[in-house]
Homo-oligomer: A and B are copies of this chain.
Amino acid sequence: MRVAIAGLGLIGGSAGIAWRAAGHTVVGYARRAETRRLALERGAVDEAPETLDAIAGAAVVVLAAPVLAVRDLLARLAPRLVPGTVVTDVASTKRCVERWAGELLPPGVAYVGGHPMAGKETAGIEYADGDLFRERTWCVVPPAGAPGEAVQAVTRLALDAGSRPLLMDAVEHDRAVAATSHLTFMAAAALCETVVAGEHFREQAAVAGSGLRDTTRLASGDPLMHRDICLTNRDFLVQALEAFAERIGAVTALLRSQPPPEAITGGPADPPAAAGLERYFVDLKVARDEWLSRPVPDRPA
């Protein structure tokens, strides 16, 4: 199959490597000449034309850019696409892209959204890796009434990247990732803001360990990607943040309800009030350990 990729960053480049290995012909476009050169050098593309025109003849066109940039790509590509082309993307939210595709694409050009659940903190073609999607979920998100062949083509590409395709609609997708992915980077960001960017961190850094480093890892992700996600998944993300704030409030209240440290005598005579606190941590450990012990695809690879 002739596959065109618009945007040769970490995701586009990694997909190109994987799809070429699976036997597809990959033509890739990037604005910067240096990116196109690197894509050829790393084997992410068979051809790297200088203009978007050259990618318009492919069977499937993959838009590999952050959400807001996808709209711009759709607008520029729309007049160049011929009937029968399938357009997909790899952006983090799906409702907006689906709406833009409906507004901008010409008749006969089908859109089916895609979202591979993979990434790194290191963006760019330099870090492209043909195994990035292996064993990961790749959400396939067709609009209502999308042609079966278009859904199949996108599903085929997910499989050929080594992923497990998972069919869902855009609302379902955006609601699920708001909790599992978007709230997660917002929590990492807010923790980073409170501690690492806090006014006392200069003195505190010497006692900061790998826990803080790992729990804030996502705060080093791509700021534009995070911004675009916030803008295009605002409603579900606000709901998730509200649920999170409510949990923070509840556990803070549980702490306040404990006896003061002066009353703690330790040893076997632990205050019974502490039992609720102990159960809180036991229940969460059990929930998390159970999740991570499940067979793929219910846990991250």
Instruction: Give me the interface of A with B, judged by CB distance under 8 Å.
Output: 67-72, 75, 95-96, 99-100, 117-119, 136-137, 139, 164, 166, 173, 176-177, 179-181, 183-198, 200-201, 203-221, 223-224, 226-227, 230-235, 237-238, 240-245, 247-249, 251-252, 255-256, 258-262, 264-268, 270-271, 274, 277-278, 280-285, 287-289, 291-292, 294, 297-301
- Contact status B166-A206, CB under 8 Å: yes
**CA–CA, A82 to B164, complex, Å?**
66
- Contact status A136-B238, CB under 8 Å: no
- Contact status A287-B196, CB under 8 Å: yes
Among A99, A139, A278, which residue has the most Cβ atoms of chain B within 10 A?
Answer: A278
- Contact status B258-A234, CB under 8 Å: yes
**CA–CA, A49 to B42, complex, Å?**
62
- List 21 contacting pairs A-B, 8 Å CB cutoff, sorted by A: A67-B266, A69-B267, A72-B267, A72-B268, A137-B206, A181-B209, A186-B248, A187-B187, A189-B284, A190-B244, A190-B248, A191-B244, A192-B284, A194-B244, A196-B291, A205-B298, A215-B217, A223-B278, A223-B281, A226-B281, A241-B248
Q: A184-B215, A280-B189, A281-B223 are in contact. Are A194 and B179 (CB under 8 A)?
A: yes
- Contact status B255-A292, CB under 8 Å: no
- Contact status B208-A95, CB under 8 Å: no
**Stoichiometry, copies per complex:** 2
- Contact status A232-B261, CB under 8 Å: yes
In the bound complex, residues from chain B placing their C-beta under 8 Å from that of A292 are 213, 220
In the bound complex, residues from chain B placing their C-beta under 8 Å from that of A235 are 261
Q: Quick one: which of B206, B227, B289 contacts A298, CB cutoff 8 A?
A: B206
Known: A188-B215, A197-B284, A241-B251. 8 other contacts (CB 8 A): A75-B266, A179-B194, A190-B244, A190-B248, A213-B299, A223-B281, A227-B274, A230-B277
